[in-house]
Amino acid sequence: MANKNYWCYRIDKNRIKFFWDELKNGRLRQGWGWDKRQDLRKFEMDEGAGRNRPIFKKVKKGDILLIPRLPDWGQVAIVEATEDWSKGYEFNIDKKLGDYGHIFPAKYIKRFTRNNENVTGNLRSTLKNPSRFWSINHYSEDVEILLSVSDSELVEKQDIPSRLSSLVVDVFNEVFDDQKFTNKLYDKFTEQFTREEWEFALVNGLKELFPFYQIEHVGGKKEKKHGTDILIKLPSLLSDYEYAIAIQVKDYEGVVGKDVIDQINKADDYWESENLKLIDKWVIITRASKNVNMVLASNDSNVKIVFAGELKELLSKIAKSLIRNELNLL
């Protein structure tokens, strides 16, 4: 097919068996679809579901997708779109799991292991991309090699470390409910932290995620001048300045005004005078949902807004990092 495109597509790795069973029936599921208002054809509520809109719009009939972690942890599935996804899309929330309502039409073609001799370095590298969905058209020839090779040649017996990892992860996924963990964690945070306590909690959490960056709490008297609660400093190739990310934290709920943008925008001039080049500005709003703040979410400034739904994801990543580090100490 002349206009065939090539993509990588990630699933919720905590539900591998569920996604595999669905794919065998021609349904490629995707998460953040637990409310009928998240139907991409009549999109009324985000809370993370909006990240599926590029998938909905871009994938066409005959496109090829590589899906890591299917049908199991150590393998990658090759899948073909059986219709344009904007036409063949369905929305039907799984009754048992209460999520994964986005359904795209696709058929399974074959699988491969990453360390197979037919897998190029280009593909091994791009499969490390943490994104949910990305184009790999520049590696189309590498994918076509896999499509031309027989199934038996692509799936070699995994080595002992790979099999051990796969076994442990499979069992963990069977007993661990990631969504329940994430929601419960967020509920505990909102119970325990208020106002400036959020700022200190997030500073500690971000240090856990990014141990090699300088992360500090800068709120206080000078906040009126720079509008920043948390400052992340990154090294520069040159020694005469550093890069920086400014973050403002607001423990707000309900409808939030655009004054939060005006406040964080003060960071530009202030931190430049401190010999810092500001590369990003974020506002984290702890309790407000995106679906009641679409005006703020769609602001045309270069300020990024994190609402409660996305904050849940961030807190979950922080918690999992803490758990991993604790286990390493045992």
What is the reported pLDDT for 225?
A: 92
Q: Which of 134, 152, 170 is at the close of a domain?
A: 170
Please report whether residue 1 resides in a domain: no
Please report whether residue 128 resides in a domain: yes
Q: What is the pLDDT of residues 99-142, one digit of tens each?
A: 999 999 999 999 998 878 888 989 989 998 888 899 999 999 99
Selected residue with higher pLDDT from 76 and 155: 76
Please report whether residue 115 resides in a domain: yes
For residue 330, name the pLDDT band (cuts at 50, 70, 90).
very low
pLDDT at 329 over 60: no
pLDDT at 172 over 80: no
Please report whether residue 157 resides in a domain: yes
Please report whether residue 58 resides in a domain: yes
Q: Are residues 216 and 100 in the same domain?
A: no
Q: Are residues 260 and 313 in the same domain?
A: yes
Q: Are residues 188 and 155 in the same domain?
A: no
SS3 155: coil
Please report whether residue 152 resides in a domain: yes
Q: Are residues 84 and 100 in the same domain?
A: yes
Alpha-carbon span 321 to 327, nearest angstrom: 10
Containing structural domain, residue 76: 6-170
Q: Which of 139, 170, 201 is at the close of a domain?
A: 170
Q: Are residues 138 and 78 in the same domain?
A: yes
Selected residue with higher pLDDT from 248 and 159: 248
pTM above 0.75, yes or no: no
Q: Are residues 56 and 115 in the same domain?
A: yes
Report whether the peptide linkage leading into residue 71 is cis, meaning its omega lies within 30 degrees of zero. yes
Please report whether residue 298 resides in a domain: yes
pLDDT at 249 over 90: yes
Mean pLDDT of 172-189: 82
CATH of the domain at 154: 3.10.590
What is the reported pLDDT for 164?
A: 67
Alpha-carbon span 95 to 31, nearest angstrom: 13
Q: What is the pLDDT of residues 16-56, one digit of tens each?
A: 899 999 999 999 999 888 888 899 999 988 777 888 999 99
Q: Are residues 22 and 165 in the same domain?
A: yes
pLDDT at 1 over 60: no
Q: What is the pLDDT of residues 270-310, one digit of tens each?
A: 999 988 999 999 999 999 998 888 888 877 788 999 999 88
Q: Which of 108, 143, 170 is at the close of a domain?
A: 170
> Does the CA dihedral 140-152-155-24 come out positive or negative?
positive
What is the reported pLDDT for 163?
A: 59
CATH of the domain at 235: 3.40.1350.10
Looking at every residue in the chain, the average pLDDT score rounds to: 88
Q: Are residues 114 and 188 in the same domain?
A: no
Per the DSSP assignment, residues forming a β-bridge with 90 are: 103
Q: What is the pLDDT of residues 190-205, one digit of tens each?
A: 999 888 899 999 999 9
Please report whether residue 18 resides in a domain: yes
Helical H segments across 24-175, by residue range: 53-58, 85-88, 121-126, 140-148, 151-154, 160-175
Q: Are residues 38 and 150 in the same domain?
A: yes
Q: What is the pLDDT of residues 232-241, one digit of tens each?
A: 999 887 767 8
Write out the two tokens for 283.
């506002």
Q: Are residues 20 and 57 in the same domain?
A: yes
Q: Count up the domains in the chain and report the number.
A: 2
Q: Are residues 103 and 28 in the same domain?
A: yes
Those residues whose C-beta lies under 8 Å from the C-beta of residue 307, and which sit 6 or more positions away, are 47, 285, 288, 289, 290, 293, 297
What is the reported pLDDT for 305?
A: 92
Q: What is the pLDDT of residues 203-236, one digit of tens each?
A: 999 999 999 999 999 988 888 899 999 999 998 8
Q: Are residues 138 and 211 in the same domain?
A: no
pLDDT at 255 over 50: yes
Percent of the chain with pLDDT over 70: 92
